[in-house]
Amino acid sequence: MVSRKWSNKTLREHKQDRRAWVLDALGLPDETPTDPHRYVWRPVSTKDPTRTPLAKRLLRGVANRHRTRRRLLELQARADGRPIEDLSATSPPGVAA
């Protein structure tokens, strides 16, 4: 987590910085207007049957971060003209580690 004590930035400012960095790395202009009322946040009761367990939500977040990171590395390699590395955590069949 990022703390305002360390960087003197709010979470919103960090998100804007990341967005600007990715758009700059991809060479895309930042012309998309954002609607501040796009999402409505409401607390979910612990008794709600449709609520996903915390462990599952955390694992989904980790998987999403890994997927995003892999895609970013792939795009950077492609932009630099480097071969795209196999980022698999397991070796292909028939290849000894």
**The residue type at 55:** A
Across the chain, what does the average pLDDT equal?
81
Instruction: Specify the pLDDT at position 30.
Output: 77
DSSP state of 27: T
Per-residue pLDDT at 66 = 95
Decide: helix, strand or coil at residue 50.
coil
Phi, psi of 14 (to 5 degrees): -65, -40
As given in the structure block, the two tokens for residue 83 are 């071969």
Looking at residue 83, what is its pLDDT?
80
Is pTM, for the whole model, over 0.85? no
Write phi, then psi, for 84 (nearest 5 degrees): -80, 120
pLDDT tens per residue across span 34-76? 777 777 888 888 899 999 999 999 999 999 999 999 999 888 8
For the beta carbon of residue 73, count every other beta carbon within 10 angstroms. Answer: 13
